[in-house]
Amino acid sequence: MTQYDAIVIGAGHNGLAAAATLAGAGKKVVVLEKNGDPGGMAANSTVAPGYECPAMAHLLSNLDGAEIASLGLERHGFAYAATDLPTISLSSDGKHIVSDAKGVRYADGGALAGEAEFLTLRARLIRFADQLAALKRKPPPSLSGIDWREAASLGKLALGLRRMGKEDMREFLRVLLSNSYDTILDEIDDGPLAGAFALDSVLGGHVGPRSPGTVLTLMYRLANGGAKHQPRGGMGAVMRAFEKSAKSAGAEIRYGAAVERMVLSGDRVTGVVLADGTEISGARVLSSLDPKTTMVLAGVGNFDAEMIRRARHIRTKGCTAKVNLALSAAPVFTGLSDDLHRGRILHAPSLAVMEKAFNLAKYGELPTSPILEVTIPSLADPGLVDGDGHVLSAVVQYVPYSLKQGWADDSRNALGDVVVDCLDQFAPGLKAAVTARQVLSPADIEAQTGAPGGHWHHGEMIADQMLMLRPAPGIERYALPVEGLYLCGASTHPGGDVTGIPGCNAAKAALQVKLGRAAA
C-alpha cells in the first residue's frame, strides 16, 4: 500500500491549492475527488450541446497576483478574457449607471448626481479593506493565546490604522461591524447605485443589507480595489490551471474517488477508506469539505460534545441560486453600448428592494423582483459556444434553500421564468432567444457539490463567522482536534470566493507541524 505524506479530500480550487503547496514542499500528495472533473462550484457546465457556461461562480475578484504567482497558474494556461469589468446597474427608467475605475456615470455618458459622495465612500472602504488584506494570507490570531508572530501582525495592522489618521481610524472602528444599509445610505441616496454597491456585502449569503456585520463582508470583497475579472475559457479553465499546478508540483489526482470514512489510530488520522473499499494511508488529511461533513467522516465520537455543538451551529443556509441560459443570439440591453454588454450587469434596484427580497427568502418564497449578477461570458470568450449562439450566466440572490412548496421541476421553472422575464424587460427579445436553460437551486447546489445548505461559501461570511471565529472557535486555525486532520476549504479563514488562499494557508499550517509533536 502506498504511503502518502498528505491526502487532500476534494479537487476544488482550495483542495488543489493545498495539494500544490504541499507537493511543492516535497511531500507525497494524493487528491481524492468524487466527481469526474476538478472545480466543484467553480467548474464549467454544459447548458446544451455546444453551449458551455460557468456552472455557478462566474467571476474572479480576490484571486490576486500573489496566489497566481505562487501556484504558477499563468504557466498552466490561466489568463483573463476581460479585466476590471465595468459594473452596470440596471434601472427601470432606462438610466442605467456604470461604475468602473474611471468613476461613475450614466450609461449614456451623462453626469450622475452624487458621484463625488459615492467615490469618496468607495475609496474610504477600499482603504479600510487594504488594511485588513494582510490578515488573509496567514492563520487568524488564536483565541487561546497570541504568539509573538501574531502580535507583530496585529501590531502592523494597528500601525496601519493609525497612519490613516484619527478620522479614518475612528470611522473604521465605527463601521467595521455595522450593516451596509446604514453605512451606504448615510452617504448616498437609495437606488440602483446603492443597490449595486451593497450587493457585494450580501452575495452568496443568507443576509440582507440590514444584517449586522455586512460592512466587513463588503470590505472583504473590496480587496484589490474591488475589481472583477472574467477568466478566459470560463471558470473551468481556471480550475484546469489549478489542476495542472498541483500535478506539476508532483501531486497525484484521482477522480471518481469518493471518501467514505477516515481511518484513525488513537487520536491520529492515518488514512481514508474510499466508497469502493480501497484504503489509502496518509500521515495528514486535509479536507476541503465543511466541518460537519469532515467530522462525520472522521467519526463524531472522536470529538468532544462542545466541538460538535459548535460545528452544528455554523450557519450554512444557502440563499443563492444560478440560472444559465443558452441563447440563439446575443442579448441587447436597451441603453447599453456593445462594450458594456461585456461587463458585470446587476439588477439590484435599491437597498429597500433587496431587503424585501431577503424577507421573502426568509419565509421560503421565491423572489418577485430577482436580485441578479449577470455576465455574458461568450462575448469575451466565443470559444464557449459552437456557432453563433451565446450563453448568459445569472447569479440569483435571495432564493431560499427551504422553499415553501419544495424544490421540484415546477419550482425551478418558476424561478427560471422570473429571471428571464426580468431580463427581458431590459433586453427585449431575450426571452424569445432562449433555446435551453439550467436552473440550480440551493438544494441542487448542495446535492451536486456537497456544500452544506447549498451555501456558496460553506458558511456565512459575516462578522461572527470570520477571522478568528471562522469556521468556529477551536478550529479557527485549520487544525481539528484529531492529530494530522485539517480543514482547507471555503469554511475556513479567510472565507469564500475563488482565491485558493484557504487551501494555501491550511497546507502551510500542516507543514509547520511535525508528526507527533508541534514544531518549535
**In this structure, are residues 462 and 469 in contact, taking their beta carbons and an 8 Å threshold?**
no
Residue 377 CB-half CA count within 13 A = 34
> What is the residue-level pLDDT of the chain in tens, covering all 520 positions?
679 999 999 999 999 999 999 999 999 999 999 999 998 889 999 999 999 999 999 999 888 888 899 999 999 999 998 888 999 999 999 999 999 988 999 999 999 999 999 999 999 999 999 888 878 888 887 766 666 566 666 666 667 767 787 888 899 889 989 999 999 999 999 999 999 999 999 999 999 999 999 999 999 999 888 889 999 999 999 999 999 999 999 999 999 999 999 999 989 999 999 999 999 999 999 999 999 999 999 999 999 999 999 999 999 999 999 999 999 999 999 999 999 999 999 999 999 999 999 999 999 999 999 999 999 999 999 999 999 999 999 999 999 999 999 999 999 999 999 999 999 999 999 999 999 999 999 999 999 999 999 999 999 998 889 988 999 988 989 999 999 999 999 999 999 999 999 999 999 999 998 765 433 2
User: Alpha helices of 299-401 — where are they, by DSSP H?
Assistant: 305-312, 351-362, 377-380
* pLDDT for position 16: 97
DSSP state of 350: -
User: Alpha helices of 313-441 — where are they, by DSSP H?
Assistant: 351-362, 377-380, 409-426, 430-433
458 φψ region: left (φ > 0), alpha (ψ -120 to 50), beta (else) = left
Q: Give the domain 3-78+234-315+452-512 fold.
A: FAD/NAD(P)-binding domain (3.50.50)
Would you say the C-alpha torsion 288, 246, 222, 380 has a positive or negative sign? negative
* Gap between the Cα atoms of 55 and 52, Å rounded: 9
- List b or e across 368-401, with b for residues whose CB sees 16 or more CB atoms inside 10 angstroms: ebbbbbbbbbbbbbeebbeeebbbbbbbbbbbbb
- Using the structure block, give the residue that is written with the C-alpha cell 427585449: 428
* Gap between the Cα atoms of 72 and 359, Å rounded: 44
**In this structure, are residues 14 and 489 in contact, taking their beta carbons and an 8 Å threshold?**
yes
* pLDDT for position 519: 35
**In this structure, are residues 32 and 254 in contact, taking their beta carbons and an 8 Å threshold?**
yes
| Burial (Cβ within 10 Å: 0-12, 13-18, ≥19) of residue 66 | middle
* Gap between the Cα atoms of 438 and 39, Å rounded: 18
Helix (H, G, I), strand (E, B) or coil at 86: coil
Collect contacts of 272-279 with beta carbons under 8 A, ≥24 apart. 272/7, 272/9, 272/32, 272/297, 274/32, 275/34, 279/1
* Gap between the Cα atoms of 305 and 301, Å rounded: 9
Largest Cα separation within the chain, whole Å, is 69
The pTM is what? 0.93
Backbone torsions φ then ψ of 140, nearest 5 degrees: -70, 160
Helix (H), strand (E) counts: the chain: 17, 23
* Gap between the Cα atoms of 471 and 307, Å rounded: 11
Assigned C-alpha cell, 425: 424587460
Assigned C-alpha cell, 224: 484589490
Domain ranges in the chain?
A: 3-78+234-315+452-512
